[in-house]
Amino acid sequence: MITVPVQLGDRSYDVLVGKGARHRLLELLPVGAQRAAIVTQDEIGVAVDAGVDQHVFLIDSGEEAKNLETVEDLCRRFSAWGLTRRDVVVGVGGGVVTDVAGFAAAIYHRGVPVVHVATTLVAQVDAAIGGKTGVNLREGKNLVGAFWQPAAVLCDTEVLESLPPEEYRSGLGEVAKCQFLPGGEGLADLPIDEKVARCVEIKARVVGADEREGGLRAILNYGHTLAHALEAATAYSALRHGEAVAVGLVYAAELAHRLGRIDEERAKEHRSVVEGYGLPTVIPAELEVEDSELLTLMGRDKKAVDGITFVLDGPKGVEVVTGVPDGDALAALRAVR
């Protein structure tokens, strides 16, 4: 079992990575927790025992369930059960569950402790780590949310063995992203436990330095500007998140190359890494979405403060870039068609 600390002062916590990590839930619950509200989805099929009185709260499946209506319904059920600040919310599932459960925990009674048991690769290497919670609006992804750090995260790599192949492959999009961030060298060659732990370490260092995305943390959104636009434009139904991120990484490399930030060889490296994980490098032809619509959606991205804000590779590594001309952004889109 690998323990990765997320250093945030008096809100620091551990991420436990390894086979059977879910069985360590009781020892990582907040001290004094009386009851546990287990938030999950019917198809997750991962049972946990919090070691205290617990009740299961099911939410609907799919990205379309990640909305304010789901959060309101969950909070009302918390209230009917009598959930208090002395209790704990436990999110068991992938990114949709950890985002919804974390956001509900953040706002119910103005804050109830939360622990995540991440059951998908996307959740283990990214979504469950770092305290960013949120839900979608029709206008864009993750536009409503809160920063609410968990008390602990358990990444049980045993449950990954039963993931559908397409779901596992989706998680590899976030792994591919980590390869281009500091500490990502050699990531592809690691066994799964070490791969997950390395991705968690990369994110933990960034979160520890910039918890609320004042600057550095935005690099964790590498590839996500186009990815979120593609997801929103297709009602979160045409591409899995990691697939969209994969296309977004190639797009970001094409844009960085057009802007003279990286050379052609580095841009090709992005395609090679993405292809190596069996992920798409272009926008699927069947996606009927105009470039102008994608440009508008990218402009609504939550990190946009001065026109469209991109995270791009460059001489100093991956960093935030503002003021990119629309013409360049559109030309790079055509390169991934």
pLDDT, mean of each 10-residue run, the chain (337 residues): 97 98 97 96 96 98 94 98 97 98 98 98 98 92 95 98 95 98 95 98 97 92 96 88 97 98 98 97 91 91 70 97 94 95
Maximum Cα interatomic distance, the chain, rounded to a whole number of Å? 59
Using the structure block, give the residue that is written with the tokens 């960085």.
256
What is d(CA 324, CA 278) in angstroms, rounded to the nearest whole number? 30
Query: Is there a catalytic annotation at residue 213?
Result: yes
Contact 311, 245 (CB under 8 A): no
Query: Is there a catalytic annotation at residue 132?
Result: yes
Q: Would you say how long the chain is, in residues? A: 337
Tell me the chain's radius of gyration from C-alpha atoms: 19
Among candidate residues 21, 144, 28, 145, the one with its CA nearest the CA of residue 90: 28
* Domain range list for the chain: 2-171, 222-335
CB neighbours of 121 closer than 8 A, spacing ≥ 6? Answer: 160, 163, 167, 168, 170, 171, 172, 174, 175, 196, 242
Query: Is there a catalytic annotation at residue 224?
Result: yes
CA angle 145, 323, 247 (to 5 degrees): 65
In this prediction, residue 309 carries a pLDDT of: 87
| Set 22, 142, 221, 270: catalytic member | 221
In this prediction, residue 288 carries a pLDDT of: 86
Among candidate residues 308, 328, 166, the one with its CA nearest the CA of residue 251: 328
What is d(CA 82, CA 192) in angstroms, rounded to the nearest whole number? 40
Query: Is there a catalytic annotation at residue 221?
Result: yes
What is d(CA 161, CA 329) in angstroms, rounded to the nearest whole number? 39
What is d(CA 47, CA 53) in angstroms, rounded to the nearest whole number? 14
| Set 141, 174, 231, 302: catalytic member | 174
Query: Is there a catalytic annotation at residue 55?
Result: no
| Set 116, 195, 198, 217: catalytic member | 217
pTM of the model: 0.94
What end-to-end distance do the CA atoms of the chain give, in Å? 43
| Set 22, 116, 169, 241: catalytic member | 241
What is d(CA 230, CA 241) in angstroms, rounded to the nearest whole number? 9
39 has which bridge partners? 57, 91
Query: Is there a catalytic annotation at residue 194?
Result: no
Query: Is there a catalytic annotation at residue 116?
Result: no
In this prediction, residue 231 carries a pLDDT of: 92
| Set 211, 213, 243, 254: catalytic member | 213
What is d(CA 117, CA 331) in angstroms, rounded to the nearest whole number? 41
What is d(CA 15, CA 247) in angstroms, rounded to the nearest whole number? 29
What is d(CA 287, CA 234) in angstroms, rounded to the nearest whole number? 8
| Set 27, 110, 138, 161: catalytic member | 110
What is d(CA 153, CA 91) in angstroms, rounded to the nearest whole number? 9
Element of type H or E holding 55:
strand 53-59
Number of H helices, E strands in the chain: 11, 11
Query: Is there a catalytic annotation at residue 257?
Result: no
Query: Is there a catalytic annotation at residue 35?
Result: no
What is d(CA 255, CA 290) in angstroms, rounded to the nearest whole number? 18
| Set 22, 66, 116, 132: catalytic member | 132
CATH number of this structure's domain 222-335: 1.20.1090.10
What is d(CA 22, CA 108) in angstroms, rounded to the nearest whole number? 25
Which CATH number is correct for 2-171, 3.40.50.880, 3.40.1360.10, 3.40.50.1820, 3.40.50.1970?
3.40.50.1970
CB neighbours of 89 closer than 8 A, spacing ≥ 6? Answer: 36, 37, 39, 78, 83, 101, 102, 104, 105, 108, 112, 113, 114, 115
Using the structure block, give the residue that is written with the tokens 């994980």.
277
